[in-house]
Amino acid sequence: MSTNEIIKIDKFNLTQEYDAEILAVDDYYHDSFSTHKEIAKKLQSKNPYTVTIIIDNLNSKFWNNKKYVEKTQLPKQALYRELLYEYFFVEFDNRAGNELYAKWLDKYRLVWKKEKMKKEIDDYIIKNELEPRYKEKILKKYKNHDKLFAPRIEVKRYRYYNLPQSLNHVDWRNPYDNIFVWEENGKKVFRKGGSGSSGGREINSKFILGFSVINNIKPIKSYLFLYGSDNVLYFIKEFSSLTVPRYDIGSNYHLKYEEIEEIISRTALIEWKDFNKLTNVNVALNKLNVKI
């Protein structure tokens, strides 16, 4: 049996007041941990805690405002080159196309190295494989050849993430950041996990499971924040026991489902239903009838 607590997130009642020490970390921890058991063993006595930052979508009205977004102009491949690949993946589906392209990469790798890699290996594939197939069709369909081959510029927008410097990098594929903090040689160090990359999912799983093992012995504090649609960090709640997002636990770190469930049985799990209209967070203590 589990208990549930609904935490209301009211945009008119959010606070920016919190203990600055929560996010005061000294450095990223570079050494790796092979298992969650190693994390639990090594970090149990090092005052670990977690910070979860739910990342709300930036309000669309700010996407052209330099206060909220850094805009960078980057060169983009010519339309002609883009169309060659588009035609290729229309003829072959993604799976078959990727398999064929991998064979072409192997085919031209030797000549590419022989010519001292003066150009991209893809250029050989374009010239010898894609152009014979699609060049005539493209030139026939698109009459403005100057536009086809003209250099192009792409505008990239990078949303600002206004956290303390050590924590200030974010993968915007993540709907949340999980920050795992502990003390090491008199300093506070951290690792970050999330769902945006395979490495992020592995760190997320390994540390949640490792911290859960510790939490089963002695409680680990957790802190919940919201990085709002206005690029402002808001404090939501402090938890006296380990509380983390339900999502991605076990991803890219393979344990049996039953073992994972047992490890996190005393860990409270956070979930939210509508990310684009974030109004509340549901916290459920997995399996235990204990109020948070």
In terms of phi and psi (left: phi > 0; alpha: psi -120 to 50; beta: otherwise), the region of 272 is: beta
Domain endpoint, select from 150, 177, 205: 150
Residues 186 and 273 in one domain: yes
Count of all residues that appear for the chain in the document: 292
pLDDT at 221: 96
Residue 135 covered by a domain: yes
Residue 156 covered by a domain: no
Cα(279)–Cα(271) distance, rounded to whole angstroms? 12
pLDDT at 233: 92
pLDDT band at 173 (very low <50, low <70, confident <90, very high): confident
Cα(37)–Cα(214) distance, rounded to whole angstroms? 9
Residue 209 covered by a domain: yes
pLDDT at 70: 87
Residues 141 and 24 in one domain: no
Residues 127 and 182 in one domain: no
pLDDT at 281: 58
Helix, strand, or coil here: 18?
Answer: coil
Residues 205 and 268 in one domain: yes
Q: What's the average model confidence in pLDDT over 257-281? A: 77
Q: What is the DSSP letter of 82?
A: H
Q: Which residue has the higher pLDDT, 3 or 34?
A: 34
Residue 292 covered by a domain: no
- In this predicted structure, the answer to whether residue 135 has a pLDDT above a threshold of 60 is yes
Domain endpoint, select from 100, 126, 150: 150
Instruction: Give the domain extent around 214.
Output: 4-69+161-285
Which residues neighbour 236 within 8 Å (Cβ) at sequence distance 6 or greater?
7, 9, 14, 54, 224, 225, 226, 281
Mean of per-residue pLDDT scores for the chain: 87
Residue 173 covered by a domain: yes
Residues 83 and 63 in one domain: no
Q: What's the average model confidence in pLDDT over 167-172? A: 80
Residue 123 covered by a domain: yes
pLDDT at 273: 67
Q: What's the average model confidence in pLDDT over 240-245? A: 94
Residue tagged 């008199």 (tokens)? 186
Residue tagged 């090092």 (tokens)? 46
Closest to 205 (Cα-Cα) out of 171, 248, 244: 248
Residues 57 and 106 in one domain: no
68 with 58: CB under 8 angstroms?
A: yes
- In this predicted structure, the answer to whether residue 74 has a pLDDT above a threshold of 50 is yes
Residues 51 and 97 in one domain: no
Cα dihedral sign, 248-283-51-209: negative
Residue 34 covered by a domain: yes
Residues 131 and 251 in one domain: no
Question: Looking at the 3D structure of the chain, how many domains does it have?
Answer: 2
Within 10 angstroms of residue 291's Cβ, the number of other Cβ atoms is 8
119 by Cβ neighbours in 10 Å (0-12 / 13-18 / 19+) ranks as: exposed
Q: Which residue has the higher pLDDT, 183 or 31?
A: 183
Residues 17 and 53 in one domain: yes
Cα(134)–Cα(140) distance, rounded to whole angstroms? 10
Residue 74 covered by a domain: no
The string of DSSP letters for 21-74 reads GGG---EE--S--SSHHHHHHHHTTS--EEEEEEEPPPPGGGTT-TTTEEEEEE
Cα(199)–Cα(50) distance, rounded to whole angstroms? 18
pLDDT band at 229 (very low <50, low <70, confident <90, very high): confident
Residues 234 and 261 in one domain: yes
Q: Write down the H helix ranges in the chain.
A: 36-43, 79-91, 94-114, 121-125, 131-141, 145-149, 198-215, 257-263
To 10 degrees, what angle do helices 198-215 and 36-43 make?
A: 50
Residues 168 and 141 in one domain: no
Q: What's the average model confidence in pLDDT over 31-45? A: 94
Closest to 236 (Cα-Cα) out of 224, 252, 251, 248: 224
Closest to 216 (Cα-Cα) out of 259, 263, 249, 255: 263
Domain endpoint, select from 150, 174, 198: 150
Cα(287)–Cα(267) distance, rounded to whole angstroms? 9
pLDDT at 292: 30
Q: What's the average model confidence in pLDDT over 143-162? A: 90
Cα dihedral sign, 162-165-167-171: positive
Residues 234 and 129 in one domain: no
Least reliable range by pLDDT among 66-75, 164-173, 235-244: 164-173
What is the tens place of the pLDDT at every residue in 84-131? 999 999 999 888 999 999 999 999 999 998 888 888 999 999 999 999
